[in-house]
């Protein structure tokens, strides 16, 4: 077998794959900031639209700039008729992530990027229209309605919830959605962002890079953890059921989703923020099971495995308390992370080099070719 002196690194762990001025997880993986601003400050003091502007335009907007930006996003929510027709033809049984992947690709055919100077406009368009695409499909099949996606709503979070139910959402729900979108907006060279940058490095169009990112996020080891976490939480009717069931699950070598992180070693700084929102929403709706069970799972996983909850774990219960179907949890991730993906695509283009790593060869030594009639 061939050998090499190159160091083997599973999943590119600990490999620095490039430079970025967009986000850092901080020294020793403990902190998180977007363009220098701490996630704790952004989540408690900024709207998602402010964060989107920061990521895409490299500065926090002034009041006037934010007003204009909100107006711009609201003006970009309409869906082209050919895309509506396609959304209606996609089966109700399709996974919503597949719907977003397909819809984004078709939008790229209808509104193509013909020059890289259009990239900011396309980023804003996708930020505005992704919730429209997802929920038009959802409401058409679930409620047999062709909804008007030009529905007025002051923020992306309010817009999402209003389209989902057709009703004016509770202010606490709007605020919780805003925080969730801020927390999911960006996270350095994660799998989907790296996929977007790889596609962008080939000088592919903007939509192709985003479709690559959506495809990477589709996998349960990246974007589906919040869905899996909710499925786990709903197995239990009381906190007392948690420990024996999870002990048995660990004995069977089952992976408990929503815990630990590839980068963070002791805690995920986003988790305490969304946990408090989950607690607030639990109290608001009179929950006596889901949140206590979630805390019991958190305590068990720390005691048994020294694993902490990541952002996905308490996001699951927060979305549940807002009445959001589990199948839409990962698509919400897309509606937020489009900001980070777009920022990385533009950054890759600004100082581009084709991303083409090498591999550690483990195949056979060179050997002679055998003609087909001589093979046994």
pLDDT per position as a tens digit, 70-114: 999 999 999 999 999 999 999 999 999 999 999 999 999 999 999
261 included as an active-site residue: yes
pLDDT digit string, tens, across residues 1-38:
333 444 556 666 666 667 899 998 865 555 899 999 99
Q: What is the pTM of this model?
A: 0.92
Q: Give yes or no for a contact between 202 and 356, defined as CB atoms under 8 angstroms apart.
A: no
| Average pLDDT value for residue range 288-315 | 96
Give the three-state DSSP class for 2. Answer: coil
List the one residue out of 190, 146, 188 whose CA is nearest residue 166.
146
Q: Give yes or no for a contact between 34 and 23, defined as CB atoms under 8 angstroms apart.
A: yes
287 included as an active-site residue: no
Return mean pLDDT, the chain. 93
* Helix or strand (DSSP H, E) at 73: helix 63-75
State the pLDDT at residue 1: 36
pLDDT digit string, tens, across residues 40-65:
999 999 999 999 999 999 999 999 99
Q: Is the pLDDT of residue 236 over 80?
A: yes
List the one residue out of 82, 129, 122 whose CA is nearest residue 342.
122
| Average pLDDT value for residue range 235-250 | 97
Give residues with Cβ within 8 angstroms of 245, minimum separation 6. Answer: 235, 236
Residue tagged active-site, from 261, 268, 287, 344: 261
Domains of the chain: 20-220+326-350 (1.10.580.10), 225-321 (1.10.230.10)
The fraction of the chain above a pLDDT of 90, given in percent, is 86
The full length of the chain comes to 376
Q: How confident is the model at residue 264 (pLDDT cuts 50, 70, 90)?
A: confident
Q: Is the pLDDT of residue 169 over 70?
A: yes
Taking each continuous run of H as one helix and of E as one strand, the counts in the chain are 16, 3
pLDDT digit string, tens, across residues 180-203:
999 999 999 999 999 999 999 999
Q: Is the pLDDT of residue 358 over 80?
A: yes
The fraction of the chain above a pLDDT of 70, given in percent, is 94
CA distance 23 to 131: 24
Q: How confident is the model at residue 174 (pLDDT cuts 50, 70, 90)?
A: very high
State the pLDDT at residue 5: 40
141 included as an active-site residue: no
């Amino acid at each position: 077998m061939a050998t090499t002196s190159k160091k083997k690194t599973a999943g590119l762990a600990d490999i620095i794959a490039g430079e970025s001025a967009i986000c850092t997880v901080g020294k020793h993986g403990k902190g998180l900031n977007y363009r220098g601003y701490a996630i704790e400050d952004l989540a408690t003091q900024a709207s998602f639209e402010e964060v989107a502007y920061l990521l895409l335009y490299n500065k926090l907007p002034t009041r006037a700039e934010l007003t204009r930006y909100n107006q711009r996003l609201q003006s970009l929510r309409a869906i082209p008729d050919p895309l509506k027709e396609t959304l209606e033809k996609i089966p109700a049984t399709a996974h919503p992530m597949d719907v977003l992947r397909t819809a984004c690709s078709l939008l790229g055919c209808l509104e193509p990027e013909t020059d890289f100077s259009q990239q900011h406009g396309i980023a804003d368009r996708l930020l505005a229209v992704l919730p429209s695409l997802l929920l038009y499909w959802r409401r058409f099949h679930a409620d047999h309605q062709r909804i008007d996606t030009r529905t007025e709503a002051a923020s992306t979070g309010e817009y999402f919830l209003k389209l989902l139910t057709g009703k004016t959402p509770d202010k606490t729900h709007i605020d919780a959605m805003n925080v969730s979108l801020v927390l999911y907006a960006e996270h350095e060279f994660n799998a989907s962002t790296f996929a977007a940058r790889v596609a962008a490095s080939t000088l592919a169009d903007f939509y192709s890079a985003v479709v690559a990112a959506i495809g990477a996020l589709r996998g349960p080891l990246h974007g589906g953890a919040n869905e899996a976490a909710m499925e786990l939480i709903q197995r239990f009717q009381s906190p007392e059921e948690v420990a024996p069931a999870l002990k048995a699950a660990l004995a069977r070598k089952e992976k408990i989703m929503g815990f630990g992180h590839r980068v963070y070693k002791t805690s995920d700084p986003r988790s305490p923020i969304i946990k408090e929102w989950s607690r607030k929403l639990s109290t608001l709706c009179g929950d006596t099971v889901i949140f206590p069970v979630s805390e019991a799972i958190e305590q068990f996983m720390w005691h048994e495995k020294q694993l902490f909850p990541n952002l996905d774990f308490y996001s699951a219960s927060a979305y549940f308390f807002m009445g959001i179907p589990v199948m839409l949890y990962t698509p919400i991730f897309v509606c937020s992370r489009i900001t980070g993906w777009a920022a990385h695509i533009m950054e890759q283009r600004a100082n581009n080099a084709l991303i083409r790593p090498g591999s550690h060869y483990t195949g056979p030594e060179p050997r002679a070719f055998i003609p087909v009639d001589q093979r046994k």
